[in-house]
Amino acid sequence: MVILKLRIKSADEWRELAPSETVTEPVFVPTTDELQSGQSVIVEIASNLLPNKVLIRGIVQSWRPALPRMRVRAGATVQLDAEEQTKLTFLHEVLSGKKTDAQRRRHHRLPVSVACRYRLANSSAFVDSAISEIGVGGALLTTSDPLPIETEITLEVTPPGGAAPIAIAGRVSYHVPSGGSGLRFVSRDGDGDRRLRELIRRLRAS
């Protein structure tokens, strides 16, 4: 997956690149790397105004080269994934100064779209689901109805190119408006931590 790094210095710069607060309107990402229309990318947004880097998925609509005489920067117009509306809203609120209490997260989350399954701690039956983001500290699980806070689950995810899934213990720690359940991973030994990091590395490279 191609990761486009976007460094935002001010709220005005962000508004110039992302004038709309809805994912139905594209974002312009300055980059000299030539990209193809329809190419999947992840935009990594960093700023001193943000508590953490924010990674957000999208599809390249078009790319243009630089035109120095006309003071036009090279860059790509990126259509953001519909499921990234929550992150886009968060970015606009923080970068505009409307939201000032955003907490710093210890680990970055990688936006993905990966099938998985999970079971509750007191059950042997698995439920098919998906995750929309993952990091070494936790993941965002797609659920039709949010799981109760503090619910303990076992999550199984198969790495790209892998034959068997890895099992990760987690606990529900928050909810998102789209119905997803945020997980915090728990009780990982040294080997479990290594396998989780390898899973994330493969997802990033796929």
- Give the closest residue to 36 by CA, choosing from 62, 56, 64: 62
Which domains, ranges and CATH numbers included, belong to the chain? Answer: 2-95 (2.40.10.220), 110-205 (2.40.10.220)
What is the pLDDT confidence band of residue 189, given thresholds at 50, 70 and 90? low
Look at residue 98 in the predicted model and tell me its pLDDT. 75
What pLDDT band is residue 187 in, cutting at 50, 70 and 90? low
Query: Averaged over 186-194, what is the pLDDT?
Result: 73
SS3 content of the chain, % helix, strand, coil (to 5): 20, 40, 40
pLDDT, one tens digit per residue, over 42-100 is 999 999 888 888 889 999 999 999 998 888 899 999 999 988 888 899 899 888 877 66
Task: Supply the pLDDT for residue 105.
Answer: 55
Distance CA 90, CA 118 (A): 28
List pLDDT tens digits, range 124-179.
Answer: 999 999 998 898 888 989 887 888 999 999 999 998 888 889 899 999 988 876 66
